[in-house]
Structures are given as structure tokens and as C-alpha cells.
């Protein structure tokens, strides 16, 4: 706002934000948070000490926070009991939050979980069977999404004795000659 006759500190600024909120007798710069997505006409009325004034309008477009799109992979997808399986949710995307600022909560489907983890974790299962692992990814504004991956955990094989085998060629030699 420019008024060559009146210093800015002597002007009155009345704001209407287009969402029902107003701010009277405020300064030339204000902050306002809109609660819902939409298009809003923000209006400022500027008055000098004699009551002369003007009005200016600006349209503000407020977008809704989109939830992240969770993704998860497992390696390996077939593992033995006690074998570590790596889970990777770094393929998760979010238009407004960097991956390092997302919260990853893992549920391993066996009664154990890891809350507030990063995009990668590992876990060893203590029982055999089909397991569904779920990651819930939450952004800084509280929006979240989930993704699942299924793995198979097999019983660990029992201890089997090694099998020995040996061959020689030739099998008949003179003393002092190598085999």
C-alpha cells in the first residue's frame, strides 16, 4: 500500500479473508491459516486518519493435503525361520513431504511391530507360515496410507551330516609319483 500523504504506521488496515475470519485495525502484513481447501478472496481495506481509503483484493487458492502413497517390498520373499528379511518402503511418494520427514510404522503380522521407523527395516520371524507385513506411512500433516507385502517363512531345515566323496586318477601309481 502506498499513500504519499500518510506514513504507513498512521494507516488502518482491515482484513477480510473470505472464509468468515476478519482482522480489524491490523498492520499491512498479516498471516492467516485457512482451515479448508478452496478459493478465497482476501480483501484489505486501507484507511488514512481522515477516513479516506481504498480496497484491494487477492484470490488465494488453498489445496488439500494429499496423503502419501505407501509402497513396500521385501527381500527375500521366501525366508527361513530366524533369517532376517529386509523391508523397504522408500518407494513411498508424497507431494508435500520429503521422505525423511515421513513416519513409517511397521506391523510384521506376527505380533511384533516397529513404530516411528525409517523407510527401511529388517525383521527375523520365529515361526513358519505366510506373513503379511503392513507399513503405515504418515506425513507431517497427519495424512496416512498403508501398503502390504506377503512373504513365506519356512521351517529351518534340520542339521544333516555332510556327505564325503573322493576320487583319484590314476588309482595305481609307482612310489614317488604324484596322484
Radius of gyration (C-alpha) of the chain in whole angstroms: 34
Whole-number pLDDT of residue 158: 47
CB neighbour burial string for 95-134, b if at least 16 within 10 angstroms, e if fewer: eebebeebbbbbbbbeeeebeeeebebebebeeeeebebb
* Distance (Å, whole) CA 14 – CA 6: 16
pLDDT at 64: 86
In 17-162, at which residue ranges do the beta strands (DSSP E only) sit?
22-26, 38-47, 53-62, 73-75, 78-80, 84-88, 103-107, 113-117, 120-124, 129-138, 144-154
Rounded-to-integer distance, Cα 161 and Cα 170, Å: 29
Helix (H) or strand (E) holding 140: none
Cell 517390498 maps to which residue? 73
Contact predicate 125/140, CB 8 Å? no
Predicted pLDDT at 156: 65
Output the tens digit of pLDDT for each of the chain's 179 residues: 555 678 888 899 999 999 999 999 888 999 999 999 899 999 999 999 998 999 999 999 998 889 999 999 999 999 999 999 999 999 999 988 899 999 999 999 999 999 999 999 999 999 999 999 999 999 988 999 999 999 999 996 544 556 777 777 887 778 777 87
Amino acid at each position: 500500500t502506498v499513500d504519499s500523504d500518510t506514513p504507513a504506521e498512521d494507516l488502518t488496515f482491515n482484513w477480510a479473508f473470505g472464509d468468515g475470519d476478519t482482522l480489524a485495525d491490523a498492520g499491512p502484513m498479516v498471516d492467516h491459516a485457512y482451515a479448508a481447501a478452496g478459493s478465497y478472496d482476501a480483501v484489505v481495506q486501507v484507511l488514512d486518519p481522515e477516513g479516506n481509503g481504498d480496497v484491494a483484493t487477492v484470490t488465494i487458492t488453498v489445496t488439500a493435503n494429499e496423503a502419501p502413497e505407501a509402497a513396500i517390498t521385501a527381500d527375500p520373499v521366501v525366508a527361513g525361520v530366524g533369517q532376517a528379511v529386509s523391508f523397504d518402503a522408500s518407494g513411498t511418494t508424497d507431494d508435500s513431504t520429503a521422505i525423511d520427514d515421513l513416519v513409517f510404522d511397521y506391523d510384521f503380522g506376527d505380533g511384533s511391530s516397529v513404530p516411528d521407523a525409517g523407510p527401511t527395516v529388517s525383521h527375523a520371524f520365529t515361526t513358519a507360515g505366510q506373513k503379511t507385513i503392513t507399513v503405515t506411512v504418515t506425513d507431517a500433516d497427519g495424512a496416512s496410507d498403508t501398503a502390504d507385502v506377503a512373504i513365506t517363512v519356512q521351517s529351518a531345515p534340520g542339521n544333516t551330516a555332510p556327505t564325503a566323496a573322493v576320487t583319484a586318477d590314476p588309482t595305481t601309481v609307482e612310489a614317488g609319483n604324484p596322484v
